[in-house]
Amino acid sequence: MTYIVTARKWRPMVFEDIVGQGHVATTLRNAIAKNRLSHAYIFSGPRGVGKTTTARILAKAINCLHPVDVNPDNECELCREITEGRSLNVFEIDGASNRGVDEIRNLREAVRYAPAKGRYKVYIIDEVHMLTKEAFNALLKTLEEPPPSIVFIFATTEIHKVPSTILSRCQRFDFRRISIEEIIGRLRFIASQEKITIGDEALFVIAKRSDGSLRDAQSIFDQIVSFCGKNIDTREMARMLNVVDEEIFFRTTDIIANKNAGEGLSLIREITSRGYDLREFLAGLMEHLRSMLVVCTTESAELIETSEVYKKRYLEAPKAFNASDLLRLLKIAAETDTAIRWDHSSAGGRLKLEIGLMQMIRLDRSVQIDALLRELDELKKKVPGEVNDRRAIPFAESGAQKPVVRGSVKASQPALRPEQIVEPAAASPRPSRNFPEPSTTVPPARPAVLAGDSPDADSISIDEAQAKWPMLIDEACKKRIAVGTMLRETALVGVSADSLRISCPDDFHLDQLRRNREFISELAQNIYGAKVRLDTILATARTASSLAHSEPPPKESPESAVRRHPVIQALIREFGAKEVE
């Protein structure tokens, strides 16, 4: 007996057997039952989804001598003739090879004659979009006023190439891609009838590779049966089809999560040595990342197209990435696929794949806002118990030595003070090894009120100067990062009604801050709300010795510590937030 391929042997014979096109089958059955048959139909859709099969069933149904519930009985003479392709009433024409105007003229002559047997003469034109413009024009008049016993059925995979004048004269049916579940169900039925043993995982691989085409799935099924015999092994099947194993995709995401660059390069070498197509690997990786994103977002595997074994694995796998991470990984994979598409050399494609994988491995993890808030809550609980004993250098009294900066100085009351530098050229090097390191994370020590000043209503208080000093530094960093950095390495040591005194650790800081004095004064005016002059001095041993006699800094409140935390500052800058009392 002559061998017949599965796609032909198990071609549907009635409307109910058409897989995945229930909307088309139901409409045609109702049209036949209610005697509302159109003179022209056009079936559009991807390859291998049942367009020609449906056309043949329709041709048999309207000519069957003994229909069964509007389905052909497939036993009468007319049904057998149509099934075997020898009917004088049904003509199948290939539009690609009969595309000229002469062929259409011959068709116009033939349609004038009544059918030799049965009620209707049916013309099935496959790939009708291949007809020439002149051929379509020659067909228009016949489609508009056809003989009563003629039915045209057009099939095409590219409906956009069919002129609108033809479409307007036909009933259009759009055939859909067949789902993976429907393909698996049909293949399982065929395997049971053929006494072939095959697992669900192998069926899923076939269905997924067919890309929604049942005919392609049946062709792959025939190929696998020829290779494996009646007992189909999944691993042997994957080796024969050269399909990338799902385990490789799980290994890839594990490598990315662990940031193991060496193992990632070894994986790419393994992929290329096995002969896998790089773009097919990337397509599978993107599908894998998409499945992880679905599980991460919905906490369910219902929307994942995979076997039940891997659905459970997706649900049980540890959540190494959040949704933001997976979206960024998908973007890198898509960009890598585009780059490989335009590089036809194997070495160039491998290099681009290695670059893409390294980008994924080195990708920093996203931090969610709710996680930041939890971290800040923990920080706020810890702040009250913390005591910071690091102090900035104050400008305060030390024993009998009183700093005198402003006002007159009597001869009977000699006083020592830090040397005030007016010009950088007059400065001399000062040793700084005995001075404590300025702190950038703790608030400065309480500044001293400069001699000769008395506080008034418009003056800046010591508490205000100390509280707003970090704000001034932050503003300076935003506008001039170099100036802000230098201010962090200085100390606020004195306050008067209209001036702030800053102690600099060395001549370089002193010179640079003097050059930016107007800029800092302007910032201080904005922060303190009053015109403030900036005085800079060089730290000396005497200034450092005053640290031992200065009063301890006040304990910082939890709210102030949280407000100055770098994460909070970053959030404020990022979102333009404002503090609400």
Pick from 149, 172, 163: nearest CA to 45: 172
Confidence tier at 577 by pLDDT (50, 70, 90): low
Q: Report the alpha-carbon distance of residue 349 to residue 343 in Å, rounded.
A: 6
* Sequence-separated (6 or more) residues with CB below 8 Å from residue 541: 434
Helix (H, G, I), strand (E, B) or coil at 232: coil
- pLDDT above 60 (res 553): no
Q: What is the pLDDT of residue 561?
A: 63
Q: Work out the average pLDDT over 119-144.
A: 92
Confidence tier at 384 by pLDDT (50, 70, 90): low
Say which residue, 114 or 375, is predicted with more confidence: 114
Portion of the chain with pLDDT greater than 90, in percent: 41
- Kindly report, residue by residue over 73-100, the tens digit of the pLDDT: 999 999 999 999 888 889 999 998 888 8
- Kindly report, residue by residue over 285-338, the tens digit of the pLDDT: 999 999 999 998 888 888 888 878 888 888 887 778 888 899 999 999 999 999
- pLDDT above 90 (res 406): no
Q: Report the alpha-carbon distance of residue 510 to residue 487 in Å, rounded.
A: 10
- pLDDT above 50 (res 390): no
Mean pLDDT computed over every residue of the chain: 80
Q: What is the pLDDT of residue 427?
A: 41
Q: What is the pLDDT of residue 300?
A: 86
- pLDDT above 90 (res 353): yes
Q: Report the alpha-carbon distance of residue 448 to residue 406 in Å, rounded.
A: 13
Q: What is the pLDDT of residue 332?
A: 94
Report the amino acid identity of residue 386.
E
CB 232 within 8 A of CB 224: yes
- pLDDT above 80 (res 505): yes
Q: What is the pLDDT of residue 415?
A: 41
Report the amino acid identity of residue 125.
I
CB 71 within 8 A of CB 82: no
Q: What is the pLDDT of residue 540?
A: 61
Q: Report the alpha-carbon distance of residue 549 to residue 404 in Å, rounded.
A: 17
pTM above 0.85, yes or no: no
Q: Work out the average pLDDT over 387-407.
A: 42
Q: Report the alpha-carbon distance of residue 202 to residue 184 in Å, rounded.
A: 10
Q: Report the alpha-carbon distance of residue 534 to residue 499 in Å, rounded.
A: 6
| Site of tokens 């002969």 | 275
Q: Range with the lowest mean pLDDT among 46-55, 161-170, 188-197, 415-424?
A: 415-424
Confidence tier at 217 by pLDDT (50, 70, 90): very high
Rounded to whole angstroms, what are the CA distances from 480 to 42, 69, 345, 520, 529?
Answer: 71, 86, 49, 10, 21
In CATH terms, the fold of domain 180-241 is Helicase, Ruva Protein; domain 3 (1.10.8)
Q: What is the pLDDT of residue 378?
A: 75
- Kindly report, residue by residue over 519-543, the tens digit of the pLDDT: 888 888 888 777 777 777 776 644 4
CB 14 within 8 A of CB 69: no
Domain extents for the chain?
A: 6-174, 180-241, 246-366, 462-546
Q: Work out the average pLDDT over 141-146.
A: 87
Q: What is the pLDDT of residue 387?
A: 42
Q: Which CATH class is domain 462-546?
A: alpha beta
Q: Range with the lowest mean pLDDT among 87-101, 123-137, 174-188, 452-466?
A: 452-466
Pick from 69, 63, 56: nearest CA to 30: 69
Q: 246-366 in CATH: which number? A: 1.20.272.10
Q: Range with the lowest mean pLDDT among 156-165, 295-304, 372-381, 555-564?
A: 555-564
Q: What is the pLDDT of residue 417?
A: 45
Question: Which listed CATH number (3.60.110.10, 3.10.580.10, 3.30.70.270, 3.40.50.300) goes with 6-174?
Answer: 3.40.50.300
Pick from 542, 546, 530, 524: nearest CA to 420: 542
Tokens of 282: 């990337």
Confidence tier at 357 by pLDDT (50, 70, 90): very high
* Sequence-separated (6 or more) residues with CB below 8 Å from residue 293: 323, 326, 327, 330
Rounded to whole angstroms, what are the CA distances from 3 to 7, 56, 133, 573?
Answer: 12, 22, 41, 74
DSSP characters over 529-543 = SS--EEEEEE--HHH
